[in-house]
Amino acid sequence: MPERNKPSKQKPAGSRFWREVRGYAEALVIAYLVVTFLFNTVGVVGSSMRPNLDGGVGASNMLQSLLTGDRVFIPKYDNWLRRMGVLGEYERGTIVVVREPENAPTAQERDRRQFFIKRVIGQPGDHVRIEEGEVFVNGHQVDQSYITASGEITPDPINFPVVTATDGVVTGMNIGFNRTAAGTAVPDLPRTNYTPLPVALDDPRVQFYYGDIVSSLAPVPDDVQDNQPFILDLIVPEGHYFLLGDNRQSSRGGSEDSRYFGPVPSLSIAGRASSVIWPPRREGEWNWRMLRPPEAFEEIPEPPAGR
């Protein structure tokens, strides 16, 4: 007689449970490795990178901003290769995602630090200054048509950094400080027709926001008049980058960037934004595009030797 099929053994419920848990755990580990070492995507929120990146409806509605704003692709392997020294420094003009510095004005009144998206303006060793909104790197005035050509943004006539010197030694930084409703002191930048009185370099507010700048100023030129404010190059410290948002017009929600918290450490940079991947179309035109440094940055010379 043919053998009857033996009833299959029922696996214990505990075994099935741990098998499912293991499956979820493996998926989470794989996702973590991909996001940490391979790639990630970041949604643009707010107006700090207009007109080149759309932040959606604005930071007041985070969910709607993430749904309507641009989403950029971040190749994480690129960042790790740079940290290992395989790739060089981030190019000037590159758009990067950076952890909000601890001394950023907005970070003073939040429980957690967010991520910013900004453009690299100065590499380590570069000489940077801003005169009436025009950016100079290593003595070269950067063509800002990549910001202004659309007519949407006109940079504020900011001067930075403005200092005062006596006998060839910087004695104060000409920076204003306003108080928020919560009582936090935040920088008020010098600009055309507004130059604040100098604040001592050892003032806690100056040290908090601009300590790296104070310790990295270029030598005072011989023709500077004592106790008269002037714009002096800052030298980007080793291992740091000077970052600016493309939107530098305060009336249109201008960027909070290195003008407010100084150069940022390279370890704070989470990665390079290589392309816009979402939404595919905006205002009837294709929105997918690569995010290459504007040609204007190719004209910047190397920094002068020494300080």
Q: What is the CATH number of the domain that holds 259?
A: 2.10.109.10
The share of the chain scoring above pLDDT 70, in percent, equals 83
The reply to whether 2 falls in a domain is no
Q: What is the pTM of this model?
A: 0.86
- Give me the pLDDT at residue 86, please: 86
35 SS3 class: helix
Lowest mean pLDDT among 52-66, 125-139, 205-219, 280-294: 52-66
Q: What's the average model confidence in pLDDT over 164-168?
A: 97
The reply to whether 16 falls in a domain is no
The reply to whether 31 falls in a domain is no
The reply to whether 161 falls in a domain is yes
- Give me the pLDDT at residue 82, please: 86
Q: Is the model more confident about 79 or about 19? A: 79
Q: Is the model more confident about 28 or about 148? A: 148
pLDDT band at 85 (very low <50, low <70, confident <90, very high): confident
Domain that holds residue 226: 38-299
The reply to whether 200 falls in a domain is yes
The reply to whether 159 falls in a domain is yes
The reply to whether 4 falls in a domain is no
pLDDT band at 65 (very low <50, low <70, confident <90, very high): low
CA–CA dist 227, 41 (Å, integer) = 49
Q: What's the average model confidence in pLDDT over 51-70?
A: 74
The reply to whether 87 falls in a domain is yes
The DSSP-derived string for 158-225 is B-BSEEEEETTEEEEEE-EEEE-TT--EEEE--BTTB-PPEEETT-HHHHHHHHHHHTTBPPPPTTPP
pLDDT tens per residue across span 4-20: 555 555 556 556 656 55
**HSE of 75 in the Cβ direction (CA atoms, 13 Å)?**
8
* Structural contact between residues 168 and 228, judged by C-beta atoms closer than 8 angstroms: no
Counting the structural domains of the chain, the total is 1
The DSSP-derived string for 253-285 is TPPP-HHHH--EEGGGEEEE--EEEESSEETTE
Q: What's the average model confidence in pLDDT over 233-262?
A: 97
